[in-house]
Amino acid sequence: MAACVSDGSVEPEIKKAKPSGNGNEEKAEGPAASERSTFNLHSFRLERVLRENVRDKTIFLHGKVGEDQGDVQDAVIILEKTPFQEDALPQLLNRNADLRLQMKNDIYSTHHLHPLPAFNEIKTTVVCPATEKHIKKYLQQEMYLVNETADDYKNITTPYLQSQTFSVQWLYNILEKKAEVEQIIHENPDPKIGFILIPDFKWNQKQLDDLHLIAISHFREVKSIRDLTAEHLPMLQTILQEGQMVISKRYNIPKSQLRIYLHYQPSYYHLHVHFTAVGHDAPGSMVERAHLLFNVIENVQFDPEYYQKRTLTFALKADDPLLHRFKEEGRI
């Protein structure tokens, strides 16, 4: 079911119609009532393309909905081609598929394959009503690297964060079992060191090559790695060890094939840890943003105030208000 979010952080995955499973059918079965989207795609009027990623086969669109009802709202739609599934290849390449020759030269040829409708699925994420913050989040912009010192964090970043409203109610809904209960992979209920392990909305859970899970801490006082001290080591170690164990048991992926990290700055200010397949080039896994959990634990063990003292580097978009604050202070 399409969901509307207003916090600008993480958008839940939209439910999609499932293939019928019969490769000889010309059409997939219609979605069950529980899977039908409440978002009226037909009412969406495209305003502009915010960004397109050719490598990831993803496009970000901004438009208006509700004009026919007199209740106009902004909406962001993200369209993403889904990965191939090995068990579906026999049906994808069956005799009913339409293969059209484009070019042939000796032993080499290129074709356009037009598969059955059941295999034309496009993952669709909807943010509605979308705020200006959402629209800017997905807009193609120049990026700038910021080297945030301890003083910068105290004098620039912290006052900025305190002046902003960052709602994470959607996340508390997960922790309190008010939403996405069926998505929970594992839970340690301890209020101090426990967490919930849940699939990231970007992972369709149909193949392991792009596995992406999120461990969300039950403890609400840590917003980012800047807050971490020695008292939080049991929580970090629990997330690391239990997360590895659960993923190994459920998905048969050893810990040596997992990339486990935290973001700085994070998309939302509540401690959470990413678990991704090490071969997956996951968004946000770049060196200027991802901090490996194993290294974070060692750093805090070495110096309990490590993340209060050190300079942290991160990227900001050109129109990010925080970037403007750094520029005003002559730090950029």
Residues with a known catalytic role: 272
**Nearest to residue 274, comparing CAs of 315, 216, 230?**
216
The dihedral sign for the CA sequence 180, 184, 189, 191 = negative
254 by DSSP, 3-state: which?
A: coil
How big is the chain, counted in residues? 332
Q: Is the peptide bond before 129 cis (omega within 30 degrees of 0)?
A: yes
Helix (H, G, I), strand (E, B) or coil at 125: strand
Identify how many contiguous H helices and E strands the chain contains and give both numbers.
9, 14
- Provide the 3-class DSSP secondary structure of residue 229: coil
Q: Is residue 100 helix, strand or coil?
A: strand
What's the CA gap between 59 and 137, in Å, rounded? 13
Residue pair 46/79 in contact (Cβ under 8 Å)? The answer is no
Structure-token match 């200006």, residue found: 132
Q: Which two tokens stand for residue 30?
A: 């219609």
User: Is 93 within 8 Å of 77 (Cβ atoms)?
Assistant: no
